[in-house]
Amino acid sequence: MHIPRLKVWKLREPNVKQEFARLVTDRKDEVFEADIVESKWNAMKEVWQKATEQVCGWQKDHRGIVKHGGGMMR
Helix (H) or strand (E) segment spanning residue 72:
strand 71-73
Does residue 53 lie within any of the structural domains? yes
Does residue 3 lie within any of the structural domains? no
What is the reported pLDDT for 68?
A: 59
Give the domain range for residue 68: 8-73
Q: How far is CA 55 from CA 18, 22, 38, 65, in A?
A: 10, 10, 26, 26
- Residue 68 is given by DSSP the state E
Distance separating alpha carbons of residues 67 and 18, to the nearest angstrom = 35
What is this structure's pTM? 0.72
Residue 72 has pLDDT above 90, yes or no: no
The predicted model gives 6-11 an average pLDDT of 94
Query: Mapping DSSP to helix (H, G, I), strand (E, B) and coil, where does residue 71 land?
Result: strand
Number of domains in the chain: 1
